[in-house]
A and B are shown apart, each in its own frame.
Chain A
Amino acid sequence: MQDIPETRASLVLRIRDPNDQQAWNEFVRLYQPVVYRVARSRGLQEADSMDLVQTVFVAIAGSIGKWSPRDERTRFRNWLLRVAKNATLNALTRRPQAQVAEAADLLDEVAAPDPQSETLIELEYRRQLFIRASEMVRGDFTEDTWRAFELTAVEGFSSEAAAQELGKSIGTIYAARSRIIKRLSEAVHNLEEQYK
């Protein structure tokens, strides 16, 4: 997933508060893959998915002027999250008839009810929280510690197998995996809170 420069450029014009800019940048990083994966899951091709991501984010960026900048950061993020979800749903349901619909249109209406896309968006959002959290905490652990976590918690190997694979004692495997699980859970929770 590459970034989409146009979105960022138009954004800088709209967001004057540096804190909001920061929030936006983080949001883009978090949510673009969500929109992309949802689009792909809905059967769109790579290029079409990228287009859809772009349309959605241009729409959100375009609506930022309507957000009152004087409120707390968390509220801005929550607003972003909800607008993005709506825009994604609209973009998905309007395809392909209105593929060239104005980006701003995506924010106009109550999103067409599309339970499966909604479920997908929720799922992919949650997945992204985990991915983002693991990117954030990974640097704090050694390669072996992380591997112990991955082998057992992610790849489903038994602790014994992981101990053998890594040449560690079983207690070490448990210790490593538990520390990471705790950190990751906290990180996911914190990310989630930011958007509430």
Chain B
Amino acid sequence: MNSCNCELRNAKAYLEGELSPVQEREYLELLDSCPGCREHLEMVAVGDQDIGDFRRFLASGSRTDFHAFNSQDLPADESGKNAADLPFLVQQIVDSLQPTDSPDSMGRIDNFEIKGVVGSGAMGVVLKAKDASLDRIVALKVMTPSLAASGTARSRFEREAKAAAAVHHPNVVAIHGVQTAAKLPYLVMPYLKGNSLHRRVQTQGPLSVPEVLRVGSQIAAGLAAAHRQGVVHRDIKPSNIMLDDGVEAAIITDFGLARIVDEATMTRTGVISGTPEFMSPEQARGELTDSQSDLFSLGSLLYMLCTGYPPFRAETSFGVLRRITDDTPKPIRQLNPEIPTWLCTIVEELQQKDPQDRPSAAEAQSTLEACLAHVYQPEQALLPERFREVSPRSRPVNFRFVLLGTIAMIATLTLFALAFLNEGNDDSSTKSKHSPTGLMPTTIEAEGSQDRVYKTMKLSFPDEKKRGKLIVDINRGFIDVKTHKSPEVIVEVLYPPKAKNRTQPGALPQQFSPSYDLYRKKESNSIKIDTYNQDYPLNLRIKVPEMVDLDLDNYLDGYLRVEGVSGKIRANSQHSDITLKNISGSAEGSSYNGHIVVSFRTLAVDARLDFESYNGSIDVSLPENASLTTAIYAGRGTFGSIFELTAPSPDDMELSWLRELSKTEYSVGLINGGGIPLRIECAKGKVSLRKSKGH
């Protein structure tokens, strides 16, 4: 750098094209001789751009389509690994493929033409491949390079895979072949279409009792076959059970394989890579395990099928392990009262801490099968004898009907009562009170623009259609939508507008025409409002008697306020705050960026509460006398972190998020109260739940 001043401005001038040809030549010569100048030039050119982005996004390898991964195969996020890192693993494996002549193939492994990436997990990547010699589509499970580097893992893989290949059973995935001599060892399996059981529960919630029994007995049958051969699975969990498309047969995958990863990494780092939620106590303690370990895991799996949640949940993997060894899970019926007592007993028997106390796989299979037969044909097939005394009115199906019937009746009565209250409270409904079939044609009344109320519109729907469309032209402002017991909707457009979050406060934007499609569904008497314009704040205030369904997807700001719903409300928005006030019944709400505030006047007997916010806060107020038995928190995050609910004392309903979790799905936290499932989801922010002072 001797004679050079390395001036930054040279670099700037060069990049801006401000140098004369002579200066430019001089500058290029300077670059050749002076590393300092080169660094300056690079620094100025790169600016705040991430230089790695060019490689990341423009490299030809990165532009191909090999970034697949499967949510259910992802390891729990404690490792700090994030989803964006995974394609690298896939890429590593894809890079190792042998070249191929086949045009629609990504590459080749021995005789297999690789057609795509199915998913990736801790152990390896699953590839879809065509077996050239047999002309069939198969799945290859290829070990990750890092794991393949471990001799122990390789030999375990070989041993386990060969043992698993010896198990032939319709509920156990077949292993066509094992190749351990390859650079990356791999397994050849049938290519299964369909979802994992994990995904099924994730998307559809708890299974019905017959489904729990059917899936459970199939898994038990598969385990029984494997155990007869001396093969232990060691990682029975919903994501390792595939539901084959069409026939819906449960197929156990990954026999003996998944925990190889743990054993390889745990010895190195003492950290568990996968989810430990379905481990047995003896596994959790790191002791030797035998086939009875799988039975405990089966119990935990059935628990999740019944309730939608794994039985042992805690903030950390180690917390989960401690709970597995020390705690008894919350009774299933507190989470899902529809599950018959005898099924709870089956799960409890499987979840005995002492392996000797658990039934064998074959015993579990026959119990589950007998119960399944009973559920289908209560008269012909009786429950296994030991369950009969447990519940005198034991027929689960009938019991369920009775229960539902009772709930429905109470709910109906409640609705009547509330509807009555509503009428009494709401004087604006008087006009239409006596004309429930008041089938006026659509009318719009405009009132002179006073200080606030600019226009009042009344909209009635002809009976035969029960559907109307209202188009409102307004400048920015509020829209206040009220509906009453009669098929009448009153829309008020308030003026002047409130300038909110605008760069030019008070400046009126050009006119726009949001259209609100208000209609009542014949059956549910519900109102649905679809809004599309997202460019101005939309503030909706709605009073409805029964059911309302609101979507504010595209709004950037504004808020949604709903008052006095006595049936069911569902409110979703991307960016708007949602306030549900003075409601009674069920409520669901989600907002990505908004805050959700909900206050109940009364809680219906079968109320369902379900709130999600990704970046906002959730605040739920319950009536003074409301009793909640159960509250379940389940958090799913998009961008931010998830906060966890503390377990409060039953007396004090004040809850707060305590801890940041990572991005993947997580569920934890219970409160005690009176029979009403409550689900609150929040990714970032705070949630509080308290008894309100009443209204």
Contacts and interface: CB of A to CB of B under 8 A. Distances in A.
Given A43-B117, A119-B84, A68 B513 contact: yes
B49 A181 contact: yes
A104 to B, nearest CB: 11
B49 A185 contact: yes
Interface in B522-554: 530, 532-535, 551, 553-554
B51 A181 contact: yes
Choose among B42, B54, B63 the residue with the greatest number of A CB atoms under 10 Å from its CB: B54
Contacts of B27: 175
Interface string A69-85: 01100010001001100
B535 A110 contact: no
Interface string A133-166: 0100000000000000010011110010000000
A79 B554 CA distance: 8
Contacts of B636: 113, 115
Given A43-B116, A68-B533, A119-B83, A131 B58 contact: yes
Interface string A60-72: 0001001110110
A110 B532 contact: no
A174 interface: yes
Interface stretch (A9-17, A22-30, A50-58, A120-128): A120-128
B41 interface: yes
A118 B592 CA distance: 13
Nearest to B46: A181
A2 interface: no
A115 B532 CA distance: 24
Contacts of A116: 69, 71, 74, 83
A126 B56 CA distance: 10
B553 A110 contact: yes
Interface string B74-112: 100000001110010000000000000000100000000
B28 A154 contact: no
Contacts of B553: 86, 107, 109-110
B84 A178 contact: no
Given A41-B68, A70-B512, A174 B58 contact: no
B592 A110 contact: yes
Contact of B574 (A43, A68, A110, A171): A110
A120 B612 CA distance: 22
B590 interface: yes
B31 A175 contact: yes
A68 B53 contact: no
A108 interface: yes
Given A83-B554, A171-B32, A153 B55 contact: yes
Contact of B63 (A66, A71, A86, A127): A127
B58 A134 contact: yes
Nearest to A185: B49
A170 interface: yes
Contacts of B44: 178, 182
A8 interface: no
Contacts of B82: 119
Nearest to B32: A171
A184 interface: yes
A43 B87 CA distance: 13
Interface string B221-234: 00000000000000
Interface residues of B, number: 71
B311 interface: no
Contacts of B615: none
B29 A37 contact: no
Contacts of A195: none
A174 to B, nearest CB: 5
B510 A71 contact: yes
A123 B59 CA distance: 14
B15 interface: yes
Interface string B30-56: 111100001001101111010101111
Contacts of B74: 116
B660 interface: no
Contacts of A181: 42, 45-46, 49, 51, 54
B508 to A, nearest CB: 13
Choose among B11, B51, B58 the residue with the greatest number of A CB atoms under 10 Å from its CB: B58
B67 interface: yes
Contacts of B482: none
Nearest to A93: B203
B80 to A, nearest CB: 15
B57 A130 contact: yes
Contacts of B63: 127, 131
Given A71-B535, A154-B55, A113 B638 contact: yes
Nearest to B128: A43
B313 interface: no
Contacts of B307: none
A165 to B, nearest CB: 17
A115 B664 contact: yes
A110 B590 contact: yes
Contacts of A188: 49
Contacts of B118: 43
A7 B488 CA distance: 40
A182 B551 contact: no
A114 B535 CA distance: 25
B572 A109 contact: yes
B41 A184 contact: no
Given A43-B118, A130-B53, A175-B14, A123 B32 contact: no
Contacts of B664: 115
Contacts of B255: none
A30 B355 CA distance: 58
Interface in A166-180: 169-172, 174-175, 177-179
Contact of A79 (B56, B69, B116, B534): B534
A63 B42 CA distance: 45
A171 B38 contact: yes
Contacts of B55: 153-156
Interface string B415-428: 00000000000000
A130 to B, nearest CB: 4
Contact of A110 (B11, B28, B83, B551): B551
Contact of B119 (A43, A127, A130, A185): A43
Given A119-B84, A131-B57, 4 more contacts: A40-B65, A71-B535, A175-B27, A178-B45
11 contacts: A40-B65, A43-B70, A46-B104, A82-B554, A110-B574, A110-B590, A115-B83, A123-B84, A131-B58, A179-B15, A184-B54
Interface of A: 37, 40-43, 45-46, 63, 66-68, 70-71, 75, 79, 82-83, 86, 107-110, 113-116, 118-120, 123, 126-127, 129-131, 134, 150, 153-156, 159, 169-172, 174-175, 177-179, 181-182, 184-185, 188
> Nearest 6 CB-CB pairs, A to B?
A171-B31, A171-B32, A178-B45, A40-B65, A66-B532, A130-B57
Interface of B: 11, 14-15, 27-33, 38, 41-42, 44-47, 49, 51, 53-59, 62-63, 65-71, 74, 82-84, 87, 104, 116-119, 510-513, 515, 530, 532-535, 551, 553-554, 572-574, 590, 592, 612, 614, 636-639, 663-664
